[in-house]
Structure 1
């Protein structure tokens, strides 16, 4: 009976316990639900502030390796350099967590043991000995600052718990890396590392990691640039605290390392590019460019050195492009960003300016692709009129018969206009735009022949992107300024045409390579340009690896007399090339498919094996594209076939006709040079001229209106008086149209209206070959001798 009562009593007790336990569980669950609901409600009512919300416009523009180029601080003038956890040295993370918060990776945002310890120290010492803050609590204070009071600490604890609920440990640590106060206007470990130590946070030594880890505890008092002794004491304290985490030998070495910090300076590399990219930041905190920081610094130093030798108000700009990736490695929009007198706030990389002669290589490339020319096609560098447009050369002189290679390397204007006249200005401009090179014409203007001499505007950026086509198989591209910019390419010309034009620019073509015209600059294919009135001086060069463009002038467009592409821009461009790693390749390039060499003949233009030898006055070794040796452009003055057919006496070999010889006649032929070139030909070029007429035979009478020189005749002898003044020969001309040009011994002496004639000074004894020619290409020549 007693046992039974005991059993009943036990069952009753167990039942009561279960009821109490169940009730406790229900109460606990309800409490958790209430707490959870309260926490959820509080989280919604008091959301975490977004890091940086108080300063939404902070931005840093960096080089490709993370080096700051220019910082745009927030409204509080705070500099930050956003980084990820992977971009920071593990040594810094070890020092930070080992010194500040050893339980960081497992606590829920608050370390209760640290809080109890801090409270006990406060009770004993009546002051704060250690704060008990975790890294998470410090992040909470960074994003939502609170006063250092008991109430503030409670607020900080709640925010820390909230942070842990929303972010992973790695994300919380990343926030600390970016927002920790580092003294003055610096926030974040990378900004501090670069400002104080001149290096990224990924490359910290043990001593440097320890110093930066303790700096946020008292950033104003521990700044290594101002208080190196205090900073060293704090750093050593951290190092001793890490004895159980780092080898003792490492700590001993770190303790001997002195604390050194450079003076904080605002980063200011590529300032105009940074300013340009800032306009497209769209809320980003960091923009990574494609620039090489060391190269950028070198290029800016070279521009600064060059501009010191230029007139007041003149400036420079330069752009360096990696041909393989189209990434810009250096971007200098002005010579000295701090020099307002030179309008250095104007970005001349993007400015619209007249390109001078820099478009000529593209014209010859297009003409090659169109089958109009080969590298040695005959062109006429003589005074010509193209529908009333009469271009002249930069040197105010002419060279007579020249090849495409000579015309391009010498940057001759008249031959370029001659080729453009055949190709078509509208077609040329359309082809450039198709290849990505934009041109801007004056309002209401349309493409005309002047475009090849700078009659339309473009920019250094467009030019460099287009010139890269000569090293990229004819593919031009848009220069890429940021690492995430898309690769935009455009077909400018064929790979064969690009190869031929580049070879001409680099070495002068097959003939130029033999005589080494460009000396020490071999390996760089470059072209200069000077706009009308010396307003713009250009030089753009290409190697296998890089394209470099340089502009020199005044941003306001005022002329700089005496400063042109060759003497102002080219030396700077070559100096930049010399600073580039592996800029010039020494290996000889192989011609692409379709590019061959052959001997061509002047004046007809065909290959040697495609015409009789007696029609080949001069041979030239030329680059051919697709095996095509185009004939010389049609003679606009004379018209008809470029071959003169006539009869010669079979016995004497002289010209004759049936009514003046009893011998048999045979047919002969001679090549005809373009009429505009005949006044400029030397005896060597005339060796295939028709023979003289046989005595007794009367040559055909000159057509009425033929140009003729008066006042002297061929064979006339002019005698000098002993001890007197040098004689002068006053000549007249008849049958001329428009103004008349006068050549003396092959050199242009000048031009004058036909009615004025011309006076030739005969200063030295010897033979004088004098030629007069008019705008229609008609001419006459006499030879006199001075004794």
Structure 2
């Protein structure tokens, strides 16, 4: 060999060795098992698909995209391993990561027969490519081969296969066989049949072409799956009976329904945010599902009602709506409507359950609660609703109703008594209490809001109001709203006493006390026990209603994104109507039905009748109030149950009629048979485990247990209803009812 040829040969050898070294150094840098985080699937409380929380990736060719899946495997199911290897890498257990026989076969087919379909990629080489996608060139193929060899050498075959089964694409954004099993078949990967396993194993070859939601794609995937079943049967992985069963199952498959999230995109974004903040967690590392508290049936019906009522109020300038529904006690959110439509150009993309707005009068119950907690207020006090001493504050209707009890002042939502009470208890005390309730998180001094914080000057959010009213409903215990079964939440804490919470609840649930500001049988009154508070911000910019029953809490906001005013839309004539429709639907209430239920009274208090200040000398108009026994003697306008009737003894507070109400007017349904027109008779408390006698106009009509509801067939006229103990001189206050 000449000197020149020898030098050239040495140079070529050195270049090859250098290139090989660089290639293997590059391969060594990429020979790690890497995968994006698992992306959870969110299901509603009934197992219906709600959304996925995708993972953003950046591709050199495609730019930013959202991928889904990448669920790890706790163990590799034998069926999945066999079906995958029969299609992707038959000699997986015999080669070190690169299959020389497959390489030679691919070269022969690709060069001698001008075929480009075979690439000889092993499982390990595919893992290398999926972790570092590059254009399909010979150099990159060599990189993948070198990386595949190092992966198997470093981690072993089983770990490499498991990683392939985590990364492999299964179409429609799904990656990883565990995710695909849940995504397509809604079952764990271990529970897949042979047919289902083979179908999934077929897809990674060409996920775009084998789209299972299209007939053409399904046909291609089924054909490849049948081939896998045939080969598995030949290899003895399944017998003839299993093979025939799998082929029949494949033949019966129809295009899959595409998994689509509900149109409530705000929900998907909420769960994405909660997951990002670490507040909701998947069931386990190997089962990244999130079990939401949302009920998509209730969500859909709530959305339908929200849109219907918003369309009614659009003529008055309303543009957006938000509604939340939670279960009382658990605070589990079952409906969360952030706007009328995410795609609405009128700021529909805003989630108005989370937007700070003026709350109007919805903070007033907590001003009264703090007054009761501090001992600055008793239920029998008289508050002045008069222009003198009003400090420039006016009522929404421009009127003044004079002296009122706290029950009347709050139920009528009077501004003057509320602001005077706030001033008496203290600006800072109220500001701090509202902060403790989670209604604001402001660093500004309390003086910057002044006494107007009781009537809307302190901005807050619907979801914060829901949590605060839930504390009121839950006997004063504050709990976070719950959005998922497995969720990180603050521990419950008491923010007010049971006594205070139940007193304020009784104020808000008393339809008689709302007179004269809110007429009877309007949207604030329900056929079952409901505590309700409305709010309207200045110039009608926001209309609110918060309501809770023994089962649910409902919050409604109606307004405009630009914070301009609506035309005469107050909480009571707009948001309250929507809240009423939602609550009635949740309870399944039908027109004309009255549920014999009440809220529990404050413990240790007894019922008294307070003559209204505007009542005549014979006290034809009275309000029932709950007072401490030692306060009765100091209450000049209180008529205790003890001397309403000659037969009533001093301990008559044991019997208090919850239903019907005193001075109630009832209209019979003329379309029903007379026997079905019945009035529910029920006690609010007392005389546990004893019998009582119900009397109407002095005549006994029923004997029942004290906690039992009795239904009396109504007759026209004015009637006097009473409950008595049969063997003791104890009776309730008589209740007057007029039936028409």
| TM-score, length of structure 1 as denominator length | 0.60
Q: Which runs of 5+ in 2 are unaligned?
A: 1-20, 283-287, 639-740
Structure 1 residue corresponding to 2:547, chosen from 541, 545, 551: 541
Aligned to 1:531: 537
Q: Secondary structure at the match of 2:460?
A: coil
1:572, CA displacement in angstroms? 2.9
1:93 offset after TM fit, Å? 3.5
* Equivalent in the alignment of 1:555: 561
Work out the CA distance in 2 between the residues paired with 1:245 and 1:627.
Answer: 84
Contact 2:503–2:602 (CA under 8 A) maintained in structure 1:
no
In structure 1, the partner of 2:476 is: 474
Indicate whether 1:255 and 2:258 are aligned. Answer: no
Which residue, 331, 339, 342 being the options, matches 1:337? 342
Q: Distance in 2 between matches of 1:198 and 1:302?
A: 33
Q: Cα distance, 1:560 vs. partner?
A: 0.9
- 1:63-462 aligned at under 5 Å gives the runs 67-68=50-51, 71=54, 73-75=56-58, 76-85=63-72, 93=80, 96-97=83-84, 99-100=86-87, 110=97, 112=99, 115=102, 118=105, 122=109, 127=115, 133-145=121-133, 152-164=140-152, 172=160, 175-183=163-171, 187-188=175-176, 207-226=195-214, 227-228=216-217, 229-241=219-231, 243=233, 244-245=237-238, 247-248=242-243, 250-262=245-257, 269-271=264-266, 274=269, 281=276, 290=292, 292=294, 294=296, 295-311=298-314, 314-321=319-326, 324=329, 326=331, 328-340=333-345, 342-375=346-379, 377-380=380-383, 382-386=385-389, 388-392=391-395, 394-400=396-402, 402-438=404-440, 445-462=447-464
CA–CA distance in structure 2, aligned partners of residues 304 and 92 of structure 1:
49
Please name the residue that 2:656 is paired with. Answer: none
Q: SS at 2:201's partner residue?
A: helix
Distance 1:348 1:156, change over 3 A: same
Distance 1:413 1:575 in 2: 27
SS in 2 for 1:551: strand
Question: Take 2:127 and 2:584, find their aligned partners in 1: how far apart are those partners?
Answer: 49
Deviations 1:416-443 (A, max 9, x none): 3343344333322222222322165989
Secondary structure of 1:526 counterpart: strand
How far apart, in 1, do the equivalents of 2:81 and 2:309 lie?
48
What do residues 584-642 of structure 1 show as CA deviations (whole Å, max 9, x unaligned)? 9x8968858844223265589xxxxxxxxx9999875422369656967xxxxxxxx99
Structure 2 Cα separation of the partners of residues 486 and 212 of structure 1: 38
Aligned CA distance change for structure 1 residues 587 and 473 (closer, same or farther; 3 Å): farther
| Aligned residue number for residue 490 of structure 2 | 487
Higher Rg of the two aligned structures:
1
Specify every segment of 5 or more residues in structure 1 that has no aligned partner in the other structure, as ranges: 1-37, 605-613, 633-640, 644-787
Equivalenced residues, count: 581
Q: Distance in 2 between matches of 1:166 and 1:323?
A: 55
Tell me if structure 1 keeps the 8 A contact 2:69–2:175: no
Measured after TM superposition, the shift of residue 251 of structure 1 is 1.5
1:35 corresponding residue in structure 2: none
> How far off its partner does 1:465 sit?
1.6
Q: Deviations over 1:287-335 (max 9, x none)?
A: 9685527255554454344433342671112334455555544443322
**Is residue 605 of structure 2 the alignment partner of residue 596 of structure 1?**
yes
Deviation digits for residues 656-696 of structure 1 (CA, Å, limit 9, x no counterpart): xxxxxxxxxxxxxxxxxxxxxxxxxxxxxxxxxxxxxxxxx
Q: CA deviation at 1:378?
A: 4.8
- Deviation of the 1:213 alpha carbon: 2.5
Q: CA deviation at 1:141?
A: 1.8
For residues 118 and 78 of structure 2, what CA distance do their matches in structure 1 show?
A: 24
How far, CA to CA, are the matches of 2:620 and 2:308 in structure 1? 51
Q: Distance in 1 between matches of 2:587 and 2:97?
A: 53
Secondary structure in 1 aligned to 2:387? coil
Cα–Cα, structure 1 residues 601 and 521, in superposed 2: closer, same or farther, change >3 Å?
closer
Provide TM-score, normalisation by structure 2: 0.64
**CA distance in structure 2 between the aligned counterparts of 1:162 and 1:291, rounded to whole angstroms:** 46
User: Partner residue of 1:48?
Assistant: 31
Distance 1:174 1:321 in 2: 42
Structure 2 distance, partners of 1:630, 1:239, is: 89
Q: Secondary structure at the match of 1:541?
A: strand
Change (3 A) 1:109 1:445: farther
1:679-727 deviation digits (Å, cap 9, x = unpaired)? xxxxxxxxxxxxxxxxxxxxxxxxxxxxxxxxxxxxxxxxxxxxxxxxx
Q: Is the 8 A contact 2:502 2:602 kept in 1?
A: no
Q: C-alpha displacement at 1:374, in angstroms?
A: 4.5
Q: 1:142 to 1:510 in 2, by over 3 A?
A: same
Q: In structure 2, the residue corresponding to 1:358 is in which secondary structure?
A: helix
